[in-house]
Amino acid sequence: MRLQQWQLAGSSPKQHQSTTRRTTDPNKWLGGLRFGVMTPSAAPRLRSLLFAPAVRDDLIPKLTRTEADGVVIDCEDATPLSEKAAGRANACELAPTIMGQGSAVFTRINPPTTEWFDDDIADGLHHDLDGVVVPMVETIEGLNQCAAALADADLGHLGILAGLETALGVADARLLLAHPQVVGGYFGAEDYIADLGGVRTDSNTEVLFARSSVAQAGRLARKPVIDQIVANFRDDERMSRESDEARSLGFSGKLCIHPNQVTLANRGFTPSDGEVDRAQRMLVAYAAAIESGVAAIDFEGQMVDEPLAVQARQILAAAGVEPDAT
């Protein structure tokens, strides 16, 4: 799982940018960089992704006690500018102490456009991480820069969770998520609205289009995507409501900024017993109908055909349950 044989293809930066805009062919839009790719491992299931500041060496050892599917040691927003060096040192030193305890472990670095990026790659990433979180992803060129830096540091096996947090990042989400180094992504509502010049509201109306766009881009790129934070970590009702919304939109999990949000996120992205039971019964009835030559049935007052059967199978898959009927 290494990126190898990097070489410039000889086109100009302007040509790189133009190519990125015009095509969805990964072999062409990789910004003029050619390499043999062994794709990083797919992202694990991440119903909940809990962040902690890299400077909080008192909190990092406690991250895996929360039963979060994934945890992130954050060298970006949660680490003050004056503490960047200390944060990356903590990240590299403490990451292995929480590995193998039930949670996938990631480190979030600073974007490649910042002065801290090179040092984060060199000194902040442990070889055995489950991946690296890259915020504020906007261009294929930026992802190529990240992939090249990881390869040069013998970290090319680390997949990228790409932060789609700006208008440009959301607009080009499908291309960005399809990059071979990217194994998943997340939508960052707060930075997105700041970039857009909008206003955050409890209704989330202002981010519905962006959330839907990112969810659809994830589906088209076949990469899982994780939904925005709830900034008020004491608002359990909003966390539960947003988790349900995000699952309905096609997200696979929720960003968490406090341990108390983890249980709510895990619950929101796990089908209930009632959902599983109904899905099983629907599929049994549908299979019997198909066997008799009927492709649409009345199931408990609802018309069920193949698209509804697909949704039922997805519910069972999310719950880790095998269907009673095939």
What pLDDT, on a 0 to 100 scale, did the predictor assign at position 326? Answer: 64
Band of residue 166 on the pLDDT scale cut at 50, 70, 90:
very high
What pLDDT, on a 0 to 100 scale, did the predictor assign at position 34? Answer: 43
What pLDDT, on a 0 to 100 scale, did the predictor assign at position 243? Answer: 98
Residue 108 reports pLDDT greater than 90:
yes
CA distance 203 to 323: 36
Higher pLDDT, 281 or 28: 281
Band of residue 38 on the pLDDT scale cut at 50, 70, 90:
low
Residue 294 reports pLDDT greater than 60:
yes
The contacts of residue 273 (CB under 8 Å, 6+ apart) are: none
What pLDDT, on a 0 to 100 scale, did the predictor assign at position 5? Answer: 26
Q: What is the DSSP string of 169-230?
A: HHHTHHHHHTSTTEEEEEE-HHHHHHHHT----TT-HHHHHHHHHHHHHHHHHT--EEEPP-
Average per-residue pLDDT for the chain: 89
Domain boundaries, the chain: 3-268, 273-319
What pLDDT, on a 0 to 100 scale, did the predictor assign at position 16? Answer: 32
DSSP tally for the chain: helices H, then strands E:
12, 12
What pLDDT, on a 0 to 100 scale, did the predictor assign at position 15? Answer: 32
Supply the pTM of this predicted model. Answer: 0.84
* In CATH, 3-268 is 3.90.470.10: no
CA distance 68 to 63: 8
Residue 27 reports pLDDT greater than 80:
no
Residue 28 reports pLDDT greater than 80:
no
pLDDT in tens, 301-321: 999 999 999 999 999 988 888
CA 3 to mean position of chain CA atoms: 21
Amino acid at 261: Q
Band of residue 121 on the pLDDT scale cut at 50, 70, 90:
very high
Q: What is the DSSP string of 275-323?
A: HHHHHHHHHHHHHHHHHTT-S-EEETTEEE-HHHHHHHHHHHHHHT---
Residue 245 reports pLDDT greater than 60:
yes
